Structure 1
Amino acid sequence: MARINYLELAEHYMKISQPQKGLEEIAKAPERNQKYYYVLAQCHFDLKQYQKAKEALVEGLKDSPDDLHLLFFLVSTERRLGQYKNAERHVRQLRSVFPERADVLELYAKTMLDQRKYSEMHEAYKKAILMRGEAPNRVLNASIALMYSKPEAAIKQIKEALKNDPENAYAHNVAAQAYKQSWRLDKYKEHALMAARLEPNEAYYRGQANRAKVMASPIIKPLYGLYYINHKYRYKPIYLIIALLYLFWAGGIILNKNTFSIIIVLIFISFLSIWFLIWLLGRLVHNYYYRILKSK
């Protein structure tokens, strides 16, 4: 009678999206090798048991600390758990062992993005693109334009990039950031949702999509408009109003117009109070809707 290979059976169930059956079968497997821990982790991951998936991967790495697949999966799992410091530590280890793999560099870039280490992200992503032979690097150019607060230049680059690769989740994320900077919130929402749809396991993309839904909603959008007063210049009108009020107040003091100075001070206090209340209301409503969307 042929011996049942429970590990292969578990892997089969995992591939046909039946991770619970996979767990039941892998529990019967006598093997405790790298493949066992990888399949076990994948079953837990598909069941959204991310901590158990991590524990399986850590156990598998004890005997083979530089295993490509286990280490790669561990970084992805830690990012899914929001353990970005651990993910960064392991992705650096992964890159040191496999410096010439484009997929490793791309994972490295995403992990650096989580930590807002943009220069390292760009460096890794650029190398990955060169390895894959993709040129010109419009996505990278768009990212750099955003770093210098040039959203229109970024949009121009990213549009061309998406023509050639419309299923590039990272490109859609960059597009979302560019449209957000240019205050085109509907387009921001469109690209943020697309990035999250293309890579649903990316916590950063999911969070961005939820924020975009909130900011583009008819309730929040006007509040943000009031908060910034003018989306193009952000706080400059506020600084101008404060400067004018200060000049009027100083003029009243110089001219010995005490009543006038008091009125200006009261206007100034009222202005700041109203602006602060608008800001506070905007943040409270934003956070409320964000929590609702995040819980879904």
Structure 2
Amino acid sequence: MTPPAVVADGVDQLDPVYMRTQADYYFSVGEALSLEGNHQKAVESFKMVLIYDPESPQVYLRLSAEYVKIGLLTQALENAESAVEKDPKFVDAHLLLGGLYSTLKVYDKAFKEYETVLKLDPKNSEAPLYMGALYAEQKQYDKAVGYFQRLGQSENFSTPYLAWYYVGRIRTEQGGKAHQTAAEAAFKKALQAKPDHVESVLALGSLYAKMSQTKKAVDLYQKFQREYGPNPRLAEILAQNYLEDEQYELAAEQLQIVESYSDDALNAKLKLSLIYIEQKKYSQAIAKLKDVLQQVPDSDKIRFYLAAIYEEINQRSDAIDHFQQIPAASQYYGEAVVHAAYLLKQDKQVDEALALVSKALEKRDDVPQFYAVQASLLDEKGQYHQAAELLTKGSKKFPDNVQLRFFLGTMQDRLGDKQQVVESMKQVLEMDPNHVQGLNYLAFTYAESDKNLEEAEGLVRRALSIEPKDGYVLDTLGWILYKKGKFQDSVKVLESAHRYQPNESIIAEHLGDAYRQNRLVDKARVMYQKAADAETDQNKVREIRAKITSLSDQEMHLSGRKPASDSAGAKANSPRE
């Protein structure tokens, strides 16, 4: 469409109504784009306005403001200067120009702009504050404070609370006890002038926190909310304080305030869910995390938390589902796969667990946990050779991973390769001389083969110096003493081991053996029975029951009686080798 034209003094000109309409259109578009946060396109629209209305100071001011938002300060300055040039009495343009000069540290020009504002508008409340701030920016703190104090005491200044607020801010920035005391007094004056000024409350509370007067800060925030109603900014700070003090109910109340003021208060919702978890309010935690997940469906962190709750309440299917949705690139992927595999194993789906971990290893062979978990599952299926091969591969890939090396040693033990067990455990101890499990395993391996018993005792005593209440380590020491023929000493140690691990079959059996060697037949029988009851391997159960039977023969031998079935007498079984 061709713009309508008019003739003036013999010269064709565009219709001014059309020009005004176009200018208004592009100005409206620029405002809308700015509200959407699309400042680059807003700049283009405001430039279009100037084509149709090149003398508008308001448009130059809007352009300047948009340039500030995208960080182009030189262009912002040029347009602010143009706005002032077009209208020397344009107060807002002088204010923005003063702010730009201040940002660029051209302080003398900034002062002149603010002085111009006050000449044009003597009651303007912004320019005096900016002038005082200029002193502070130049580190002229006492001059700035004096200026603001006079401003706060002036009957002609409409917002004295802001003057006292800035006095407090400056003294806080200076630091030190004397300045902190002065800052506290200034903030209190600000609140006397305007009790509902939340910025002063926040600043005073922050000052109390710096002065290690947390209770004063909390009391201040609580008082403000009682008198002026909930405030999300104060509520967030209060919630954090309550969380640190483990006052979860109070923290939850404050987080609910934060959440109520914003539909996308993700941080508050997440903290609320964690509080519910701490309080074991799992249904509420799940609901809150699901709410968060709707807003950020790709959040692997939230999904991991949700899966962990389902695991905690034994909803395994839901837990597995969410764990498996966590992507391979996530920092939570390793833990998610491990948890999912464990849950599948609990559901006796070992093959599915193996498939899951095998697939995970294909995606991420840089996660050492995967080698250990898959080896554990292979161990569960009795596939010891495959488990050992996998652990050998993992140990080569992660030569400094002590747990993989230790696990490899235990798998070599499964295969009966005692020499390799010893080598692996020695490597474990080279990597970590205080590895309790490695010390204990090597010591027990020596004891079981009746070799290096002195070295074995030294190893296990070192382990006990680190973990003196470990029942398994105590069992190893007791068994070494037994092997050395110190039966009375072995009883003392093995009884202690049994107290720490009363349901462990091998410890009960060892204690039974020690009792038998000390001719405590009744005690041995009771302990063997406990060992048999706790044992899951039926072949081992038969071995233990054979020991119980042999006790009857030993008892009759000790009393001089002979069983009717054996006129030659019965011989007691030898100690377990």
Structure 1 and Structure 2 fold alike (TM over 0.5): yes
Matched residue, 1:151: 487
Matches of 2:418 and 2:381 in 1, distance apart?
21
Matches of 2:484 and 2:339 in 1, distance apart?
49
Kindly provide the amino acid, as one letter, of the partner of residue 31 in structure 1: R
8 Å CA contact 1:10–1:21 kept in 2: the answer is no
TM-superposed CA distance for 1:176, in Å, is 2.4
Match of 1:178 among 494, 514, 519: 514
8 Å CA contact 1:193–1:209 kept in 2: the answer is no
Matched residue, 1:129: 464
Question: Does residue 116 in structure 1 map to residue 457 in structure 2?
Answer: no
8 Å CA contact 1:192–1:208 kept in 2: the answer is no
Cα 1:189–1:13 shift into 2, 3 Å:
farther
TM-superposed CA distance for 1:40, in Å, is 1.5
Matched residue, 1:244: none
Question: Does residue 87 in structure 1 map to residue 418 in structure 2?
Answer: no
Matches of 2:436 and 2:352 in 1, distance apart?
34
8 Å CA contact 1:106–1:128 kept in 2: the answer is yes
Deviations 1:153-208 (A, max 9, x none): 543554455446646777535412212313455644543565687797xx9xx987
Cα 1:186–1:11 shift into 2, 3 Å:
farther
Matches of 1:125 and 1:158 in 2, distance apart?
14
TM-superposed CA distance for 1:44, in Å, is 0.9
8 Å CA contact 1:172–1:194 kept in 2: the answer is yes
Cα 1:189–1:54 shift into 2, 3 Å:
farther
TM-score relative to the length of structure 1: 0.60
Matches of 1:103 and 1:97 in 2, distance apart?
13
- For the residue of structure 1 that corresponds to 2:450, the secondary structure is coil
Question: Does residue 67 in structure 1 map to residue 381 in structure 2?
Answer: no
Deviations 1:266-290 (A, max 9, x none): xxxxxxxx96x977xx99xx9xxxx
TM-superposed CA distance for 1:132, in Å, is 2.1
Q: Which has the higher contact order (CA 8 A, sep 6+)?
A: 1
For residues 1-296 of structure 1, the aligned pairs below 5 Å read: 4-5=327-328, 10-16=337-343, 17=345, 18-29=349-360, 30-33=363-366, 34-117=368-451, 118-134=453-469, 142-143=478-479, 146-147=482-483, 149-156=485-492, 158-159=494-495, 162-163=498-499, 166=502, 171-184=507-520, 187-188=523-524, 190-192=526-528, 194=530, 210-217=542-549, 220=550, 224-225=553-554, 230=557
Deviations 1:29-54 (A, max 9, x none): 32223233222112212223222211
Matches of 2:446 and 2:532 in 1, distance apart?
18
8 Å CA contact 1:189–1:209 kept in 2: the answer is no
8 Å CA contact 1:185–1:215 kept in 2: the answer is no
Deviations 1:234-260 (A, max 9, x none): xxxxxxxxxxxxxxxxxxxxxxxxxxx
- For the residue of structure 2 that corresponds to 1:216, the secondary structure is helix
Matches of 1:69 and 1:138 in 2, distance apart?
22
Cα 1:120–1:10 shift into 2, 3 Å:
same
TM-superposed CA distance for 1:67, in Å, is 1.7
Question: Structure 2: 5+ residue runs without aligned partners?
Answer: 1-297, 299-324, 560-566
Question: Structure 1: 5+ residue runs without aligned partners?
Answer: 233-273, 287-296
TM-score relative to the length of structure 2: 0.34
- For the residue of structure 1 that corresponds to 2:359, the secondary structure is coil
8 Å CA contact 2:447–2:480 kept in 1: the answer is no
Deviations 1:75-124 (A, max 9, x none): 12222333222211111111122102223212222222332233232211
Kindly provide the amino acid, as one letter, of the partner of residue 93 in structure 1: Q
8 Å CA contact 1:10–1:22 kept in 2: the answer is no
Kindly provide the amino acid, as one letter, of the partner of residue 32 in structure 1: D
TM-superposed CA distance for 1:149, in Å, is 3.7
Cα 1:8–1:150 shift into 2, 3 Å:
closer
Matches of 2:369 and 2:496 in 1, distance apart?
41
Cα 1:168–1:125 shift into 2, 3 Å:
farther
8 Å CA contact 2:511–2:524 kept in 1: the answer is yes
Kindly provide the amino acid, as one letter, of the partner of residue 21 in structure 1: E
Matches of 1:140 and 1:35 in 2, distance apart?
28
Kindly provide the amino acid, as one letter, of the partner of residue 42 in structure 1: S
8 Å CA contact 1:9–1:25 kept in 2: the answer is no
RMSD, aligned CA: 4.3
Q: Computing the radius of gyration over CA atoms, which structure comes out larger, 1 or 2?
A: 2
8 Å CA contact 1:41–1:57 kept in 2: the answer is yes
Matches of 1:86 and 1:167 in 2, distance apart?
30
Matches of 2:475 and 2:508 in 1, distance apart?
9
Matches of 1:196 and 1:77 in 2, distance apart?
25
Kindly provide the amino acid, as one letter, of the partner of residue 56 in structure 1: L
**What is the number of equivalent residue pairs in this alignment?**
231
TM-superposed CA distance for 1:128, in Å, is 0.8
Matches of 1:27 and 1:148 in 2, distance apart?
46
TM-superposed CA distance for 1:127, in Å, is 0.7
Matches of 2:539 and 2:356 in 1, distance apart?
35
Which 10-residue stretch deviates more, 114-123 or 70-79?
114-123
